[in-house]
Structure 1
Amino acid sequence: MTSRVPYAGQSPRDLGGGVRSVPVPIPGSPLGYTLVYAIDSPGGPLLVDAGWNHPDAWQALSAGLSELGTDVSAVRGVVVTHFHPDHAGLAGRVREESGAWIAMHEEDARLVKLMRGFGERAHRDFQSEMLRRAGAPSLTLEDGARPEPPAQPDLELRDGDLIDLPGRTLRAIHTPGHTPGHVCLFLEDAARLFTGDHVLPDITPHIGIYPYDRDDIDPLDDFLTSLDKVAALGRTEALPAHERIFDDTAARAAEIRAHHEDKLVRLAALLTEPLTIWEAAALMRWNRSWEDLSPMLRGMAAGEAAAHLRALEARGLIRRLPEVDPVRFVAVDS
C-alpha cells in the first residue's frame, strides 16, 4: 500500500533551505509522477532528476520551476539518480534549453551508451531469448513502444564525488541495485538525502536481472549493501523521487531490507523441486495475482524473481541445474 498523493493533488513546493520540488507526471504509469528537486546555487539551480520525456511532463517541469521563481533556461546542471526514463528522460531537453551539464554514475552512463546503439530488432531478439531461457510461454514484455534512450551524460560520477554546486556540499553515494549506477545525493550541509528510487517511503524499488539467467552479478546483494550504506548516515531526511518526503532514511532502509530477507525465505521454501525462473515468479507473492499482471509486469516480476534466485544461489542455499535449458533452480538439499 502507498499513501502518496495523486498527481492531481500535487503542486510545486518550496521545501526551505534552498530546495524546491516539482511534481512531473508520468503519463500512463501507476506511479503518477516523479518528484524533481531544484537546489539553489549562485550559478543557477541544479536539478535532481528531470522527469519523463513527454510534452505534458515538460510543461509541468517548466511551469513548476517558473512558479517557484526560476526558469528552465537558468538550470546549471542535472544530476540523474539513474538512467530510467522517468528520471533521465527530460535531461537532454533541459540541456538544450539551458546549456546545463548532465551527470550520471559511470555504470549507468555505460548502459545508456549501450542502449543508444541497440536497435529495435536487436531489442526484440534479446527479449525473446531471455524469455525462452526463463521458461516463459510465447509473449512480449512490452505494452507499447520502447521509450527513447536518455541523453548521454556530460559528466560521469563515482562514489563519493562532490557535485559542482557552489556554496553547498552535495555528495554522490553509489547505491547499486535498482540499476547498476543508481546514486543517492547527500546534501551534507543540511543532512538531506535525495534517494531517487533507492529508498521510497511505502513501496520498494524493482530489483531485477536482465537477462534473467546471468550468474556473474548479484544485484539484490548490491541493493542490500547499499541500504546499509545510506542507513549509516543516520536519521537523515529522505527526499525520494516518488510518493512523499519522509523523516528517517535509516529506519525505512531497515524495513526494506527485512522485506527482501522475508521474500528470500519464502522463495527458498518453494524450491523443493526444480523450478524455472518463470515458474518461480508465478508462485511468488506480488501486489496482485499472477493472472492479473500484464505481460510487461510479468516480465518485471520474472526479473525480480531472478534477482532473488541469484541471491539465494550466491548464499549457497539453492543451485542451478547444469546443462538444462530452460534454466532451473532447486534447493541444495533436494
Structure 2
Amino acid sequence: MEPCDDDGSRHWAEPGLYTVAPGVYRIPLPLPNDALRAVNVYAVTDGDSLTLVDSGWALDEARDRLAAALAGLGAGLGDIGQFLITHVHRDHYTLAVALRRESGASIALGRGERAALRATAAPDEHPMEDQIGLLRRAGGTPVIDALVALFDGRRPPTDRDLWEQPDEWLDPGGRTVLPGRTLDVVHTPGHTAGHVVFADHAANLLFSGDHVLPHITPSIGFHPAPAEQPLRDFLDSLRLLRSLPDMRMLPAHGPVTPSVHARVDELLTHHDHRLDEIGGTVAQGNTTAYEVALRLTWTRRERTLDELDPFNQMLAVLETQSHLDLLTLQNRLTTKDEDDLRHYTVP
C-alpha cells in the first residue's frame, strides 16, 4: 500500500495510507456495525522510529489494515514503539493492548482515565451500571427496558481482557515522541474525563481525538466513571483550544480540516443554542431529562428520540441531562428529587 495525498478526493473512511504532513500519515481503520464507519489512527515517523496516535478497535480486519498501511512506510506492526491514546474507548485503546502483547510497544494514556479504566475492567460490574442509574433518575425507564430487550437479558460485550493498564499516565505538557519531535499533551475532559489531545505546534497540527470532530458532536455523559458536569468540562476544554494558536485538525472520525478554531466556534454556538432550546422545553412543563429528550430532535437528520436505536436513545437522554445540569449550575433552572426522579423547573 503506497501513501497518497490526503487531499479530500476520496471519502475519509476509505482504506488507505494518507500523507497529512511530512512524517505524519492518516490510517482509517474499520469499526463493526458503527455509523461512524472508521477511526483514524495517525502514524508519526522519522523513518527509524514509529509512534501511533490512537490504535483502533481490536479486530482482525483492523489489525490487517494497519499492517498493510505500515508496510507502505516500510514498517511492520512490530516496529511500533509507542501508542499515544487520546481516550479510553475501545475504538481507540483496545488494538494497542492486543499489539503490545505481541511486540512490547508501550501505551500512554491520560491520567484522568484511571477511574474509567478501572471500572471498565472490573469483573463483576455491569458495563453500563452507572448509565442505567442515571437513566432511572432521568425518568428513562423505557430506554432501560429497550436496552434490556436489545441484549435479551445478557450483559453487553465488554472485552474485559483488553482493558489492561497503560505503561504511562500522561500529564499536560511537552512530550518527546521522536528525536526532534515534541507533542504538547493538552487535557480536554468532556467526552471522557481523561481525554487528551496532542498539539504539534512546530508542524501546526492538532491530533484532536473525539474532542473536536468535523461533522458531529461527541457524546457527552456516556462514561464508565461519569463526571459531575461533563458538558461544562467539554465547553471549557473547547475554550482552552480556542485560546491556543489555530492548527490543522486531525480528528479521530472524519477528514482532516484546516482550522480547529473554526470548528470550535461552531460547536460553542451549537451548544449555546441547544441550552436555550432545552431551557425553553422545560419552561413548557417538561421536567425530566427523558421528557425533554422526547421533545427534541437528534442527529443531522433531525430524528425523534423514538426513531433512534436503544443505545443512541441512552446517549440522547444522558446528553440532555448534561445540558439540564449545566443550566442548573448557571442558575437558569432549579432541581428537585422525588421518588428517585430528578425534576427540573424554571425558577
Q: Which residue of 1 aligns with 2:252?
A: 241
CA separation of 1:6/1:211 partners in 2, compared to 1, >3 Å: closer, same or farther?
closer
Q: Deviations over 1:216-245 (max 9, x none)?
A: 721111111111111222221111111100
Count of residues paired in the alignment: 326
Per the TM alignment, residue 303 of structure 1 is displaced from its structure 2 partner at its CA by: 1.1
Q: Deviations over 1:40-88 (max 9, x none)?
A: 1476211000001111111111211112321110111001100111111
CA distance in 2, matches of 1:257, 1:62: 38
Per the TM alignment, residue 31 of structure 1 is displaced from its structure 2 partner at its CA by: 0.4
Q: Which residue of 2 aligns with 1:134?
A: 138
Q: Which residue of 1 aligns with 2:189?
A: 176
- Structure 1: which 5+ residue stretches go unaligned? none
CA distance in 2, matches of 1:58, 1:39: 18
SS at match of 1:258: helix
Alignment of 1:232-311 (within 5 A): 232-272=243-283, 273-287=285-299, 288-311=303-326
Match of 1:231 among 233, 242, 265: 242
* Contact 2:49–2:178 under 8 Å retained in 1: no
Matched, 1:50 2:50: no
Match of 2:81 among 72, 76, 81: 76
SS at match of 2:112: helix
- Structure 2: which 5+ residue stretches go unaligned? 1-8
Per the TM alignment, residue 187 of structure 1 is displaced from its structure 2 partner at its CA by: 1.0
Q: Which residue of 2 aligns with 1:23?
A: 28
CA separation of 1:27/1:21 partners in 2, compared to 1, >3 Å: closer, same or farther?
same
* Contact 2:27–2:41 under 8 Å retained in 1: yes
- Residue 129 of structure 1 aligns with an amino acid whose one-letter code is G
SS at match of 1:194: strand
CA distance in 2, matches of 1:12, 1:42: 15
Normalising to structure 1: TM-score of the pair? 0.90
Higher mean alpha-carbon deviation, 15-24 vs 128-137, is at 128-137
CA distance in 2, matches of 1:217, 1:168: 36
CA distance in 1, matches of 2:129, 2:110: 28
CA separation of 1:125/1:226 partners in 2, compared to 1, >3 Å: closer, same or farther?
closer
CA distance in 2, matches of 1:40, 1:227: 28
Alignment of 1:101-112 (within 5 A): 101-112=106-117
- Residue 219 of structure 2 aligns with an amino acid whose one-letter code is H
Alignment of 1:311-330 (within 5 A): 311-330=326-345
CA separation of 1:124/1:75 partners in 2, compared to 1, >3 Å: closer, same or farther?
closer
* Contact 1:22–1:35 under 8 Å retained in 2: yes
CA separation of 1:229/1:124 partners in 2, compared to 1, >3 Å: closer, same or farther?
closer
* Contact 2:222–2:315 under 8 Å retained in 1: no
Matched, 1:36 2:41: yes
Higher mean alpha-carbon deviation, 254-263 vs 101-110, is at 101-110
* Contact 2:56–2:93 under 8 Å retained in 1: yes
- Residue 159 of structure 1 aligns with an amino acid whose one-letter code is P
* Contact 1:271–1:331 under 8 Å retained in 2: yes
Higher mean alpha-carbon deviation, 124-133 vs 263-272, is at 124-133
SS at match of 1:36: strand
Alignment of 1:111-260 (within 5 A): 111-119=116-124, 122-123=126-127, 126-136=130-140, 137=142, 138-141=144-147, 145-149=156-160, 150-208=163-221, 217-260=228-271
SS at match of 1:275: coil
Per the TM alignment, residue 285 of structure 1 is displaced from its structure 2 partner at its CA by: 2.0
SS at match of 2:326: helix
- Backbone CA RMSD of aligned residues: 2.3
CA distance in 2, matches of 1:43, 1:65: 13
SS at match of 1:27: coil
- Residue 313 of structure 1 aligns with an amino acid whose one-letter code is T
* Contact 1:14–1:68 under 8 Å retained in 2: no
SS at match of 2:319: helix
Identity %: 34
CA distance in 1, matches of 2:10, 2:210: 14
Per the TM alignment, residue 105 of structure 1 is displaced from its structure 2 partner at its CA by: 0.6
Per the TM alignment, residue 251 of structure 1 is displaced from its structure 2 partner at its CA by: 1.2
